[in-house]
Structure 1
């Protein structure tokens, strides 16, 4: 089958590789759609931290945002999955440690991450092996595009849930990339007054987020919660400054350099700070929100291209016709 392989920093190629065989407890998925995210770009550039910690190495096959159809199963008891449209969790825990058995498999020290960690092949390929325990079925209302947006949507939803918003609460979303705009959408669906802080805001406003500000224009307002979806090392400290005493700050963006935050400010303002890793635990809720039309992230997809376009996409080259939407999808089978 055809698969995209990163062979080194800035180097990638489409290769013919052996197709996966479903082992016991696994299925094989024919991938309909795969999304490209910032993590994938960091693997391609060589900047991703896992490459330097030894948790990932070249050659590697990326892609952890996906949807597809189950075409093979490894255990007779899993045959009911055949033909189902699915997406799945990226985080694959060992299943035995205390974190896994308490429902926190995304924090398992020995976890694999599809297309990310410890060599599990990713979804920029015609087929993908996935444990049955990670699968989520997609209803008819959730098409291939929405299915490949479940994983980033679940990340954003977990961040919004961590903010503990109530209807009418005022929340500031920092960083209007894919995760930030998804977080803004889920916050709006929860009845919050959503404000967005960013650099380029025309696309953000086109989605209906009229309270969109730059650092220079942000008004002095009391924010009940701040969700930092940015990659700016200076913004975590600003988030603590901007949130109301007794409020909540959620950190889901990861900066290239360490972020310095004054914990005295956290304590003296009685602020709760929460970190979010992965969409695990919110995938089913995200699928339900998409199916019900409560959140429709399809405008975030600028273009859908083929596997042969992966190098251009990962190099940051964009066709002018694509416009400013942040997400690129790939159809691996074409």
Structure 2
């Protein structure tokens, strides 16, 4: 099979590799679609913290936002999975520690993260082997594009749920990238009055095309009471700004990760009686995300600006935006798409 492999910082190959064989407890999936995200970019550039912490190493195969169809099952796996359309949880816990026992495998200290942390190759290939326990079934109304958006969507849904407590609450989201826009979509579906703050007019214009009306750059942000503020950016200074902007008694949600440590003033946190929530992983919200996509209450497909083959992944990771691509922030990969 063909697979995209990062061999070193900014070095890559599309390789011909043996097809995976399902080990006990595993399935092999024919991959239909894979999303490219900021984590993959950091693995490509060499900036990813896991590389420096010894938690992953080159050569590596990224790809943790995926959808496909089960092609084979290993020993001990129900044959009913065969032919089923699925996506999979990125976070693969050890299954035995106290966190896994409490259903928090995404926080397992010994976890693998498919294509990100540990030895498991990711889904940027024609096939991928994953534990059957990580699978989530996709209904017929959830196509491959939506299926590959379930993982980022689950992160965003958790952020929206942490931010929105009641209908009509005013929620400000910092950073209209993929996660920020997904969070805005879920917050809107929960009844929030959604505002977005972005650094560029083009990103705000795209948010406007999705039906969001309250769009601001920082220097024009109105003096309004925000019941919750979600930092979905990678800007080092915005976590502290989020705390400054939120109403006393409100909530700040941190889902964006800056490349360098950011700071907040905990005196402000205490004196404003603010609740701060951090979000790591889609795991607890994958089923709810798939259900929202299935019933049409959230449709993030406009976020995908282009779908490319494996041969174009390196250029995408290096920052290429191809002529003719749409205005959205997300690129998808079809591993079976052959370059012409």
Normalising by the smaller structure, the TM-score range is over 0.9
Provide the residue aligned with 1:13 in structure 2.
Answer: 13
Out of 320, 323, 329, the position equivalent to 2:332 is 329
CA distance in 2, matches of 1:199, 1:277: 24
1:77 deviates by 4.3
Provide the residue aligned with 2:306 in structure 1.
Answer: 303
Contact (CA 8 Å) 2:164, 2:190: kept in 1 or not? Answer: no
Provide the residue aligned with 1:162 in structure 2.
Answer: 162
1:144 and 2:144 equivalent? yes
CA distance in 1, matches of 2:98, 2:325: 46
CA distance in 2, matches of 1:58, 1:324: 32
Provide the residue aligned with 2:270 in structure 1.
Answer: 267
Provide the residue aligned with 2:233 in structure 1.
Answer: 230
Q: Deviations over 1:211-241 (max 9, x none)?
A: 0100011101000001100000100000000
1:313 and 2:316 equivalent? yes
Out of 295, 312, 317, the position equivalent to 1:292 is 295
CA distance in 1, matches of 2:23, 2:269: 48
Out of 206, 210, 213, the position equivalent to 1:207 is 210
- Normalised by the size of structure 2, how large is the TM-score? 0.97
Provide the residue aligned with 1:50 in structure 2.
Answer: 50
1:76 deviates by 4.8
Contact (CA 8 Å) 2:26, 2:77: kept in 1 or not? Answer: no
Provide the residue aligned with 2:99 in structure 1.
Answer: 99
1:189 deviates by 0.5
Provide the residue aligned with 2:255 in structure 1.
Answer: 252
- Normalised by the size of structure 1, how large is the TM-score? 0.99
Q: Deviations over 1:147-167 (max 9, x none)?
A: 000000000001111124311
CA distance in 1, matches of 2:89, 2:246: 32
Instruction: Mark the CA change 1:170 to 1:254 in structure 2 (over 3 Å): closer, same or farther.
Output: same
CA distance in 2, matches of 1:319, 1:308: 13
Consecutive unaligned residues of structure 2, counting only runs of 5 or more, are none
Runs of 4+ in 1 over 4 A off after TM superposition: none
Provide the residue aligned with 1:129 in structure 2.
Answer: 129
Q: Deviations over 1:66-125 (max 9, x none)?
A: 000001001254100000000010000000000000010001011000010012100100
Aligned partner of residue 283 in structure 2, secondary structure: coil
CA distance in 1, matches of 2:77, 2:149: 29
Q: Deviations over 1:31-52 (max 9, x none)?
A: 0000000000111111111111
Provide the residue aligned with 2:189 in structure 1.
Answer: 189
How big is the alpha-carbon RMSD for the aligned residues of Structure 1 and Structure 2?
Answer: 0.8
Aligned partner of residue 220 in structure 2, secondary structure: coil
CA distance in 2, matches of 1:16, 1:333: 13
Q: Deviations over 1:109-149 (max 9, x none)?
A: 11000010012100100111111111000000000000000
Provide the residue aligned with 1:78 in structure 2.
Answer: 78
Consecutive unaligned residues of structure 1, counting only runs of 5 or more, are none
1:304 deviates by 0.4
Aligned partner of residue 78 in structure 2, secondary structure: helix
Q: Deviations over 1:171-224 (max 9, x none)?
A: 001100000000000000011000001012111111111101000111010000
